[in-house]
Amino acid sequence: MRICSNEPCIVLLTEKDTWLRVNGKEPISLKANHMAILACENNVIDISSLNSVLVIQVSRNNIKDYLQFLNKDLSHLPVWQRNADPLLTANCLTPDIFRVAARYSAMETPDEIVSERTRALLFTVLSRFLDHKKFISLLMHMLRS
């Protein structure tokens, strides 16, 4: 099944073992309760099933806000390699938070409180990838694409 998004980034949570393929390359196996962050633009993303996967779409503005929130000097980070698969994976330690973040991110509401709650939940989900040395480089790559 193919995943398409108008946003530059998605984050997936698998509730069952699932495979993921980017640009027709070798599939990547994701165990249950694992997350993957993927760059969507100019990439073909296939997944074995969407029945056991939760998806959060991340906008450019959310990526910019998150990078500002981190308050890091980004000028010395390595550039994301174009030939690298545009994804990272991580074990999800808090699937309940991801579920709430996915539910809120799918809602369109003018309510400022709900918007801020959604933003905070999204930042919590994204922060799980901070252990990856290439995470911030991937986010910057998504902004440039």
User: Residue 145's pLDDT is what?
Assistant: 75
User: 2-144 has which CATH code?
Assistant: 2.60.120.810
Top mean pLDDT of 3-7, 51-55, 79-83, 125-129 is at 125-129
The pLDDT confidence band at residue 91, using thresholds 50, 70 and 90, is very high
How do residues 13-37 score in pLDDT, each as one tens digit?
A: 999 999 999 999 999 999 999 999 9
Does position 111 have pLDDT exceeding 90, yes or no?
A: no
Decide if 57 contacts 39 (C-beta within 8 A). no
| 3-state secondary structure at position 38 | strand
Identify the CA nearest to 62 among candidates 126, 18, 133: 126
| Count of alpha carbons within 13 angstroms of residue 94, beta-carbon side | 13
The amino acid that residue 14 corresponds to is T
Of the chain, the percentage scoring pLDDT greater than 70 comes to 100
CA angle 85, 73, 62 (to 5 degrees): 60
